[in-house]
């Protein structure tokens, strides 16, 4: 009989509970009852839904973009 101590918190593959499926490096936020991914960049802030928001919104022109933390801007991938 294997005894596993500690606190166990259920996670979900289909994202129906606790935001998303818990991954290595995530942390559990008791107040939001969500698993939170690590902060992707120092300039990004967490919103009240437990997701990280960039200081400049992602472009919606259909292009492919990557975040440039040095210049705090989106750079198109060409």
Q: What is the pLDDT of residue 57?
A: 96
Q: pLDDT tier at 4 (50, 70, 90 boundaries)? A: confident
- State the CB neighbour count (10 A cutoff) for residue 27: 10
Q: SS3 letters for the chain?
A: CCCCCCCCCCCCCCCCCCCCCCCCCCEEECCCCEEECCCCCCCCEECCCCCEECCCCCCCCCCCEEEECCCCEEEECC
Q: What is the pLDDT of residue 1?
A: 54
Give per-residue pLDDT as tens, 7-19: 888 988 887 788 8
Give per-residue pLDDT as tens, 17-72: 888 889 999 999 999 999 999 999 999 999 998 999 999 999 999 999 999 999 99
Structure tokens at 53: 């928001």
């Amino acid at each position: 009989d294997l005894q596993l101590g500690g606190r166990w918190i259920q996670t979900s593959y289909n994202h129906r509970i606790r935001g998303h499926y818990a991954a290595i490096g995530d942390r559990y936020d008791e107040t939001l009852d969500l698993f939170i991914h690590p902060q992707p960049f120092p300039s990004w802030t967490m919103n009240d839904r437990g997701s990280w928001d960039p200081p400049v919104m992602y472009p919606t022109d259909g292009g492919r973009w990557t975040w440039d933390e040095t210049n705090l801007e989106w750079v198109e991938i060409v």
